[in-house]
Structure 1
């Protein structure tokens, strides 16, 4: 019963935890500087998974007695190198990009909800309406398009006189083949 409530271990363990925390703080700052701003920007699925794994490894290296600090440092360095390499491969090889990255998806077209895309991405009509309101649009017809981006955000493109084929910024967005303007 006494082991169940462990408020404090001892001074040497507390010093070890503090030293490990400083070590991992410095490591993560250096890693972010080397790997780049992408590590902390608005994350796509791939970047989010890497950040969660790095956080878990850092916590393990700081707190867990059975995980050597150097082991956790090596694991974090390998993940950072893998992320760096993968982002370079994604930029150079579209086939790899297709496997690693999600693609933006069209959810509304000129006020019409695209129900198949909404079901596939698990985005509700209420979530789309919230994005419209956040952009000062009071009805779905007030937007040409709503797009689910690769980082999970909803982008609202206000109503304007442009057709789908003329919207260059939307060329990489997954849309139904039968979109008619």
Structure 2
């Protein structure tokens, strides 16, 4: 392959890419209007998978002859329908929700790291410390909890004078760890 081919493009290709990109964009906006904004949320692992799959289909459709624009849009329509069905199943059939979704997990509470949970999440204490610093914390004693959410994001809940609403923590694995102060708290 000659290096010139890396930089070459003709007018037909420009027109084809432009029309495919515009068509895909319009189709994607229509699907989003029909199915709702959740389509691009980062709420769960299947939402993330949907976003990655759409990006891959978009790239293939816009930058190559195959799949065609209609094939790409059909594939995206199937993904939107699948996501809608999975979301409906999650809402209506509670036992299946745990099979579909990851559960949030406690990484730290009352200044104490939970090594087993960190290992399961494939994280180190340094990863948690980075998130604490990004949240403007200077001490572990400022932390009520650090939670790895179902999206992979870490939530930092600070200690304050407001008593916890325990219902907020019902769906988190090992949430009972939040209810007892750590033996390290006095340090």
TM class by shorter-chain length? 0.7 to 0.9
CA separation of 1:180 and 1:43: change in aligned 2, threshold 3 A: closer
> Quick check: 95-104 or 37-46, which moved more?
37-46
* Number of aligned residues: 180
**In the TM superposition, what is the alpha-carbon distance from 1:70 to its structure 2 partner?**
1.4
Output the aligned Cα RMSD: 2.4
**In the TM superposition, what is the alpha-carbon distance from 1:110 to its structure 2 partner?**
0.9
2:172 aligned partner: 173
Classify the secondary structure of the residue corresponding to 1:136: coil
Classify the secondary structure of the residue corresponding to 2:108: strand
Classify the secondary structure of the residue corresponding to 2:150: coil
**In the TM superposition, what is the alpha-carbon distance from 1:24 to its structure 2 partner?**
0.3
| Equivalent pair of 2:39/2:80 in contact (CA under 8 Å) | no
> Quick check: 132-141 or 70-79, which moved more?
132-141
Gaps of 5+ in 1: none
- Provide TM-score, normalisation by structure 1: 0.87
CA separation of 1:69 and 1:137: change in aligned 2, threshold 3 A: same
Say which structure, 1 or 2, has more relative contact order (CA 8 Å, 6+ apart). 2
| Cα distance in structure 2, aligned partners of 1:11 and 1:29 | 27
Classify the secondary structure of the residue corresponding to 1:126: helix
2:42 aligned partner: 42
**In the TM superposition, what is the alpha-carbon distance from 1:3 to its structure 2 partner?**
8.6
**In the TM superposition, what is the alpha-carbon distance from 1:43 to its structure 2 partner?**
4.5
1:63 aligned partner: 63
Classify the secondary structure of the residue corresponding to 1:23: helix
> Quick check: 58-67 or 98-107, which moved more?
58-67
| Equivalent pair of 1:112/1:141 in contact (CA under 8 Å) | no
**In the TM superposition, what is the alpha-carbon distance from 1:137 to its structure 2 partner?**
2.3
**In the TM superposition, what is the alpha-carbon distance from 1:96 to its structure 2 partner?**
2.1
